[in-house]
Amino acid sequence: MQVGAFQYISLVEAVEAAKEDLRIQDTTEHDPYLFRKADEALRHTGAYKNYVKKVCKVDILDGRAKLPVGLQRLTGLRFVDGNGICYGQPYLDLDFLNNCGCNDVAGNYGNLYNPHEVQDGYIVFHDPSNISATQANIAYMGRNVDSDGVMYMSDREERAVIAYLCYHFSLAYPEGYTQHFNYEKKREWTNQKKYLRGLSQKERFEENKRQISAIFKAWILSDQNV
């Protein structure tokens, strides 16, 4: 994700904007419905941007730790001592490392299958009596959501979300809107979704290229390679 390329805005803003388009600003009755649909729209854009790398600290209680909302795939874990300092070997996702071509690293540091597994939103450690730590730092790939599990929306996605809201609201209440309105909003949503996916792909490519370039630059400049 490009930091600073856009800003996050609240889904409520998209809801308010859609209400203006739908001419229902005089009532708040449909706000929760539109809010739910806005979250749905973002989850269905299918853009890479909606999946991000994150880190957070989790509490270990009775041999298990509750995972954050939006988690899709755990990539690493390291225990934290009472002073907040990480210690011991990191647990890394073997599949993830294999995918990255880092099988050797995986071999050195173990994998997720032996010490714990993920069940119903919790990491369950197989041998809790051997764990002295009460906290762990985890790295994971997850949906780009807030602490309530609601999708973050960037300003460039606002138009797509508004179109989605108008499209679905005019489907739910067809009496108040023309077929033309419904069709135009559907078309706008479809086009915006394609645009967002394309933009996201391009940015992901640029980001990968930048990272690869940085790695190679570091490798070339390394003392060992001189």
Map residue 18 onto helix, strand or coil. helix
- Give least dist CB 146 to other proteins, A: 10
Nearer to other proteins, 117 or 146 (CB): 146
The only residue of 29, 62, 104, 120 in contact with other proteins, by rule CB under 8 A: 29
Instruction: Tell me the window of 29-37, 114-122, 180-188, 205-213 that interacts with other proteins (CB under 8 A).
Output: 29-37
User: According to the binding rule CB under 8 A, does residue 205 interact with other proteins?
Assistant: no
CB neighbours of 98 closer than 8 A, spacing ≥ 6?
106
- Give least dist CB 11 to other proteins, A: 10
The only residue of 13, 21, 31, 184 in contact with other proteins, by rule CB under 8 A: 31
User: According to the binding rule CB under 8 A, does residue 39 interact with other proteins?
Assistant: yes
CB neighbours of 140 closer than 8 A, spacing ≥ 6?
53, 54, 55, 56, 67, 68, 71, 72, 73, 74, 75, 76
Nearer to other proteins, 22 or 136 (CB): 22
Residues in contact with other proteins, counted by CB under 8 A, come to a total of 19
CA distance 112 to 95: 9
User: According to the binding rule CB under 8 A, does residue 28 interact with other proteins?
Assistant: yes
**Among residue numbers 143 through 202, which ones bind other proteins (CB under 8 A)?**
148-150, 173, 175-176
- Give least dist CB 9 to other proteins, A: 16
Nearer to other proteins, 26 or 104 (CB): 26
CA distance 44 to 25: 26
| Residue 154 near residue 9, CB atoms below 8 Å | yes
Minimal CA–CA distance to 99: which of 89, 88, 90, 111? 111
User: According to the binding rule CB under 8 A, does residue 9 interact with other proteins?
Assistant: no
Tokens for 160?
């797509």
Instruction: Tell me the window of 1-9, 21-29, 57-65, 208-216 that interacts with other proteins (CB under 8 A).
Output: 21-29
User: According to the binding rule CB under 8 A, does residue 26 interact with other proteins?
Assistant: yes
The Cβ of residue 162 has, within 10 Å, a number of other Cβ atoms equal to: 27
SS3 content of the chain, % helix, strand, coil (to 5): 50, 25, 25
- Report which residue type is found at 103: N
Q: Contact positions toward other proteins, by CB under 8 A? A: 23-24, 26-33, 35-36, 39, 148-150, 173, 175-176
